[in-house]
Amino acid sequence: MRREECDVAVIGAGPAGLAAAAAAAEKGVSVCLFEREEQAGGILKQCIHDGFGLIRYGEKLSGPEYAYRELQRFQKTPARLRTETFMTSVEKDGGGFLLTMIDREGILKYRVKAIVSACGCRERTDRQIRLQGPRPAGIFTAGQAQAYINLNGIMPARRCVILGSGDIGLIMARRLTLEGAEVAGVYEIKPEPAGLSRNIAQCLTDFSIPLHLSRTVTEVVGRDRLQGVYTEKVDSRFSPIPGTREFVACDTLILSVGLIPENDAFDLLNWEKDPVTSGPRVDSRGMTSVPGVFSCGNSLQVNDLVDYVSQSGETAGNAAAAYVRGDSGRQTVTVSAGNGIASLVPQRAETGGAPVDFFFRSRETLRGRRLSVTADGNEIFSRRYGIVRPPEMEKITVDTGRIPENARAIRFDLLEDPQANADSSEIDEADELVCIECPRGCRLRIGRFENGSVAVEGNGCPKGKRYGEEEMKNPRRVLTTSVKTVFGGQPRLSVRTDGGIPVSALTDAMKAAAKLTVSRETVPGDTIVKNFGGWGVDLIATSECRPESRRKI
C-alpha cells in the first residue's frame, strides 16, 4: 500500500480549496491539494455566466475566468495538486491525521498535520423533497442541466418548469430561454424569492419569465418522459391549499431546491455542527472543534458570492499553516445569533487579535434595522440597514480589540431603527428597477423628465447611477454562452462579449454564436470574433481550450 505525507492537506480544488492551498503554501509549509474530478475549479467550470469576482478582482468575470485566475495563483506555489483522487475516510493519528484516498492506482494513505475541508456542497434532488408521482426522464437538478448545456452542448428541455428560485435556478431560466427553450415559470414554495435581487432582474424580468411565490410542484406526470407537473399554492406552513391545484404541461422539471454542505467524510471526526448552516462550527480562523481541522467555502456554509468563498479559503489556509508551525491561536469567545439573525459564521471569535469578518443572514426580509453587536451586553459594533433579505449574505468587520479578554459571549441582534429606513426621495413619480452591476442589488428609483434628463436615487455607488441612466435609454447586457469546438474531449468553449449589447439583440447574438466553431487552442481573454455581430464588442474566450482536454458530465 502506498503511503505519503505532507503538512497540510486541502480537500477539494474549487475556489475555496485553491485559495486555501495557495495561502498555506505561501507560508512555507508543504501542501497537497486533492480533487476528485479531472480538473481543478469545482463548479465554476460550468458556471459560464458573469458576475464573479466583483469584490476580489474588481471585474465581472465568468466562472471559468475566475477559476483560471485562482489556479494561476496556485500554480505559482510549490503545492502539489492530485486530481481524480477521492477521500474515503479520515481519522486521528497521533498528533496528526491519516487520510485514506483512492485514485487510479488504488488506495493511498496520506499522513498530515492539518486538514482544510473545502469540499463544497451538493444539490438536493427529487428524492429529498415532497414530490409525488413516478420518476420519468426529464427531471434534473439545475447543476445537471447546466453541465449538459454549457459543457456538452446538449439541450435537456423544450418546455420546462423550474422548482425553486435559488440563484442557479434563476440563471438556468435565462440560459434555457437564450438557448430556445420555453420556461413556463419558476415556482417558489416560500413567500419571497430565494435568489439575489439582481438575478431576479436579469434572469426573469429581462425575459418576462413568471415567478410564482407560495406555490410549489406537488406531483409529476409521465411514464418514460415527463409530460407535466401539478402545482399548488401553499399556506404559511408550506402545506398545499385545497382547490389551488393546476396542471402545467412540460417535458422537463429543473430543481433548484437548496444546497447541502459536503461534509460526510469529516463527520467521522465527530466535530460540532451548526444545525442552521449544516456545516461545522468554526472560530475566526476557520478551525473546527477538532484542533487541526479547518473548514471554508461552501462546505462551511452556502455562500451567494464566490468572492467570500475564496476569502474563507485564504483564512483557513493561513491558519492551517500557522497551526502546523505551532501557533494554536488566541483565546476564543462564543458568538450567538440573536433577534432576526438566522445564521452566523464564525461561531467563535478570538479576542484581542486582528479584526474579524462575520457573515450573517436574516431570518426574513426586514426593513429599518440596526445591527447591534454586544459583548456581555456592551455594544461594540453597530450598523444601520435599510433592508436585509435572507438570500443576501451580509458581511461586517468587527475590531476584536474592543472585546474584553474576559468576555463570555458575543451576540448579534437586528433591532428596529426607523432612522435606517428614512425616505428622502425628491422624485415624485419614478420607475423602479434593480441594479445588476454588483451583488448589492440596489433598488433604484428612476425619474424621467420632459427635457430627456434622468434622475437616479437609491444607488449605493456611482456604478448604480450610470446603470440607471443607461437602462432608461439603451439597456444592454453582456452575452455569456458557449460555442462548438473541434475537440472531442471538450465539445464546448465558454465565451462572452467584452461589453454589453442591446437586450433586443440577445436572440440574434445567440444565433450568431451557434454558427461558430473554435479549432485552435485558447486561454481566457483570447478574442474569438472581433466586433461580434457589428455590436461594437468582441467575443472572447473565458476558459482554456486544448486538444488534450477531457471533460465529462
Q: Write out pLDDT tens, residues 8-39.
A: 999 999 999 999 999 999 999 999 999 999 99
Q: State how far Cα 480 lies from the chain centre.
A: 17
Are residues 160 and 41 part of one domain?
A: no
Question: Do 290 and 196 lie in a common domain?
Answer: no
Q: Taken in order 270, 271, 275, 276, is the CA torsion positive or negative? A: negative
Domain boundary among 257, 280, 305: 257
In a domain? residue 240: yes
Report pLDDT for 421.
62
List 110's β-bridge partners, or say none: 4, 99
Please report, for the domain that includes residue 215, its CATH number. 3.50.50.60
- Whether residue 82 is contained in a domain is answered as yes
Give the model confidence (pLDDT) of 88-126 as tens digits: 999 999 889 999 999 999 999 999 999 999 999 999 988
354 and 398 within one domain: yes
Tell whether 133 and 246 lie within a shared domain.
yes
Whether residue 136 is found in the same domain as residue 248: yes
- How many angstroms separate the CA atoms of 68 and 151, rounded? 16
Number of structural domains found in the chain: 5
User: What is residue 94's predicted lDDT score, i.e. its pLDDT?
Assistant: 87
Return d(Cα 266, Cα 268) in angstroms, integer: 5
Q: For the sheet containing 211-213, what is the strand order?
A: 139-141, 252-255, 159-163, 182-188, 211-213
| DSSP state for residue 52 in the 8-state scheme | B
305 and 402 belong to one structural domain:
no
Dihedral sign, CA of 360, 364, 215, 133? positive
Contacts of 231 (CB under 8 A, 6+ apart): 161, 187, 212, 215, 216, 217, 218, 245, 246, 248
Give the number of C-alpha atoms closer than 13 A to the C-alpha of residue 172, restricted to the C-beta side: 34
CB 212 within 8 A of CB 231: yes
CB contact set of 237 (below 8 Å; sequence gap of 6+): none
Domain assignment of residue 76, given as a range: 2-122+260-329
Torsion angles phi and psi, residue 327, rounded to 5: -90, 105
Between vectors from CA 390 to CA 63 and to CA 216, what angle results, nearest 5°?
A: 85
**Do 86 and 108 have their domain in common?**
yes
Which of 227, 257, 287 is the endpoint of a domain?
Answer: 257
426 in any annotated domain: no
DSSP state at residue 239? P
Q: For residue 206, tell me if it sits in a domain.
A: yes
Same domain, 459 and 494: no
Residue 552 inside a domain? The answer is no
Q: Do the domain assignments include residue 549?
A: no
Residue with cell string 413516478: 134
CATH number at residue 360: 2.60.40
Residue 74 in any domain: the answer is yes
Domain boundary among 209, 240, 257: 257
User: What are the cell numbers at 313?
Assistant: 479559503
The one-letter amino acid code at 491 reads P
Structure-block grid coordinates of residue 401: 480589540
What is the DSSP secondary structure assignment for residue 166, as one 8-state letter? S
Q: Within this chain, do residues 370 and 312 fall inside the same structural domain, yes or no?
A: no
Asked if residue 551 is part of any domain, the answer here is: no
Residue 95 vs residues 91, 280, 499: alpha-carbon distances, Å: 11, 21, 53
From the number of C-beta atoms within 10 Å of its C-beta (0-12, 13-18, 19+), residue 553 rates as: exposed
Residue ranges in the chain whose pLDDT is less than 70: 421-431, 449-452, 548-553
Same domain, 173 and 224: yes
Residues 40 and 65 placed together within one structural domain of the fold: yes
CA–CA separation, 82 and 30 (whole Å): 14
Same domain as 252, residue 130: yes
